[in-house]
Amino acid sequence: MPNERLRDALLRNGLALEQVAEAVGVDQKTVERWITKNRTPYPKHRHKIAAMARESETYLWPDSVAPERKAETAAAEVVQVFPHRHAVPVELWDRMIKDASETVEVLVQAALFLVERPRFIKDLSAKASAGAHVRLLFGDPEGDSVALRSAEEQLGDGTLAARIRNALASYRPLIGVDGVEMRFHDTTLYNSIFRFDDEMIVNTHVYGIQGAHAPTLHLRRLSAGDLFETYSESFESVWNLAKPATF
């Protein structure tokens, strides 16, 4: 079975087989076999290819890393654990938003706290204009999942849907901006995800507890890690189920 993940990653980054072969010091046919026959490169080659393709080793070659090493690397991907989302320092949010240049991905219900930042929308627009890919996923205010979540958090009927609509009003300037995509999801929100390039804030959700008071992880992606990639794949799954946002 071909390694479609590797093929896609190389194509997405405009990397020809001969470029990869030259960069890692192997024959072009060897690179072809890595794709068409799903052969696994040596570790030194995997490191270089993963860096070139801007993907993790565990994503490109899921079976290449021993379970023990995956567990150790996953622990190393956790930069810090916060007891509550509101305990995440303002300076950390500011730095991640400022430093992101390639990927911004947000999976939330409303996340009004983000648009309370005076420059957040302008920063997203500027980053998209500079070539970053910005993808934003909001809870569908008409969806069943939002209604259920509002009840579970004891917010009152329609409260969460109203919060989402309030937040969306702030995102209107991003409509039609090249590089910015916005969708509605109607999935169970197990975690809110905020990705800025190779860093991520994961706001876990606890039944009956509002997101601001739930535990939160600060992750930094490592090439051989599996934790960051797990949340990234979760975002992708929700994105594929979502529909274009309507304002």
- Give the tens place of pLDDT for each residue, 194-245: 999 999 999 999 988 888 999 999 999 887 778 898 999 999 999 999 999 9
Q: For position 8, what pLDDT does the model report?
A: 87
Q: How high is the pLDDT of residue 70?
A: 65
What is residue 55's predicted lDDT score, i.e. its pLDDT? Answer: 82
Superfamily of 4-63 according to CATH: lambda repressor-like DNA-binding domains (1.10.260.40)
As a whole number, mean pLDDT of residues 97-105 equals 95
3-state secondary structure of 225: coil
The reported pLDDT for the residue numbered 61 is: 85
| Cβ contact 60:157 at 8 Å | no
Name the nearest CA neighbour of 52 among 91, 87, 13, 81: 13
Using a 10 angstrom Cβ sphere, with 0-12 exposed, 13-18 middle and 19 or more buried, the burial of residue 208 is exposed
- Do the Cβ atoms of 106 and 164 come closer than 8 Å? no
> Mind listing the pLDDT tens digit for each residue in 121-164?
999 999 999 999 999 999 999 999 998 888 887 777 788 999 99
**In the prediction, which pLDDT does 86 show?**
95
pLDDT digits (tens, 9 = 90+) for 38-87: 888 888 888 888 888 888 887 888 777 666 666 667 788 999 999 999 99
Return the CATH superfamily for domain 73-244: Endonuclease Chain A (3.30.870.10)
Domain ranges of the chain: 4-63, 73-244
Cβ contact 7:44 at 8 Å: no
Sign of CA dihedral 17, 18, 24, 28: positive
CA-to-CA distance for 59 and 36, rounded, in angstroms?
Answer: 17
